[in-house]
Amino acid sequence: MAAAPRIVSLVPSLTELVFALGLGPFLVGRTGFCVHPAAEVAGVPKLGGTKQVDEAALLALRPTHLIVNKDENEAPLVERLSRHVDELIVTHPLTVNDNLVLFEQFSRCFAGIDGVAVRADTMSAALRQELQASLDLRAMEEEIAVRYLIWKDPWMSVADNTYIASMLDSAGLRNTLPARLASRPAAETGASRYPVLTAEEVVAADCAHLLLSSEPFRFTERHRKALQQDVDRARVEAPSAHARVSGPQVHLIDGELCSWYGPRAIEGLRYLRRCRQQWAGAQADAPLPQTL
């Protein structure tokens, strides 16, 4: 009989997937950002962050499996740690559909653990159902232009080839960027996937809605109000006679439901469809839908 796995996850969303697949009893280490499911992760040792990891503490746990992500974990760190584990699980979902590959990847890696394959298949079926519902919505409704913001000072958004942009697109929400960025070559990883915008580009955004994510920068209602005031002031003071009097509406949005892959993608698709349907109505300044 094979020895039980000893899993360390350095990816918050995949720590959640570990528990969703019934692998929680085998998780021996995590990052401080791995906060879901809260009750279950509370008893799992923290090993630092996604980029600054206590390597000595991690190796002392004698992990057999290490879960990492190309965006969240730095290559030199992963290379050092990979020499000390039996299996390195490297992930890099770029689209919502990539979650199906992710579920299959984990199912194969832990095929010897009872129930994992069944849970992975169940999640895959649920995700396919939500993807079809999103496709149906897109077929019936026109897309809505938005700009998704993940950071302040400097302002940062997301490029088209990111997981977040794919989530938005699935719900009929097209993330926009300034024209100067349109011709930049796409990169699989790196800063170009999360471009820096000027304050003027944010305020003058030619879209229907500005979305302030709850992570990695924790935007608050104070930030939302301040940006809405800046947007409204800029539109009123615009020198062009053709400038719109009113600018985009500014909203806070749940970053976990937009950026966490794994089981949260299923709920995230439902959440974004509700956002999109609400914004298509008359009450543009209504609060966002509550999460499930």
DSSP label at 95?
Answer: S
Is there a single domain that holds both residue 84 and residue 198?
no
Question: How many percent of the chain have pLDDT more than 90?
Answer: 79
Predicted local confidence at residue 292, as pLDDT: 38
Least confident span in 74-83, 135-144, 151-160, 215-224: 135-144
Residue 83 lies in a domain: yes
> Can you read off the two tokens belonging to residue 176?
């926009």
Q: Which residue is listed with tokens 């719109």?
A: 244
Which residue has tokens 């890099």? 92
Q: What is the pLDDT of residue 180?
A: 80
171 pLDDT more than 50: yes
Q: How many domains does the chain have?
A: 2
Phi and psi angles of residue 91, each rounded to the nearest 5 degrees, phi first:
-125, 155
Whether residue 124 lies inside any domain: the answer is no
Q: According to the model, what pLDDT value does residue 163 have?
A: 96
Residue 246's domain comprises: 144-279
- Is 149 found in the same domain as 85? no
Averaged pLDDT for residues 274-281: 86
Which of 30, 63, 92 is the last residue in one of the domains?
A: 92
Query: Per the domain annotation, does 263 fall within a domain?
Result: yes
pLDDT for residue 255 is more than 60: yes
Domain boundary among 48, 66, 92: 92
Nearest to 14 by CA among 41, 54, 53: 41
pLDDT class for 285, splitting at 50, 70, 90?
A: very low
**Residue 242 confidence (pLDDT) above 60:** no
Mean pLDDT of 171-177: 93
pLDDT score of 144: 94
Residue 240: partners with Cβ closer than 8 Å, 6 or more residues away: none
Strand partners, 87: 65
**What does the mean pLDDT of the chain come to?**
90
Same domain, 82 and 163: no
What pLDDT score does 284 carry? 42
Res. 239: pLDDT tops 70: no
Q: Decide which of 192 and 50 is more confident.
A: 50
Report whether pLDDT(69) > 60: yes
- Check whether residue 196 and residue 271 sit in a common domain: yes
- Looking at 57, 92, 127, the residue that finishes a domain is 92
- What's 4's DSSP letter? P
The mean pLDDT value for 64-68 works out to 98
Q: Is there a domain that residue 122 lies in? A: no
Cα R_g (the chain), whole angstroms: 21
Q: Are residues 76 and 187 in the same domain?
A: no
pLDDT at 1: 46
Predicted confidence (pLDDT) at residue 187 exceeds the cutoff of 70? no
Q: What is the reported pTM?
A: 0.89
What was the pLDDT predicted at 184? 58
Residue 269 above 60 pLDDT?
yes
User: Most confidently modeled of 48-62, 237-251, 269-283?
Assistant: 48-62
Domain check: are 256 and 171 in the same one?
yes
Q: Is the pLDDT of residue 199 over 80?
A: yes
| Spatial contact of 161 and 186, defined as CB atoms under 8 Å apart | yes
Same domain? For 154 and 254 the reply is yes
Instruction: For residue 112, tell me if it sits in a domain.
Output: no
For residue 223, how many other CB atoms are within 10 A of its CB? 16
Q: What is the CATH number of the domain that holds 12?
A: 3.40.50.1980
Whether residue 186 sits in one domain with residue 248:
yes
Is 87 found in the same domain as 155? no
Over range 229-253, report the average pLDDT: 76
Phi-psi group of 170: left, alpha or beta (phi > 0 → left; psi -120 to 50 → alpha; rest → beta) = alpha
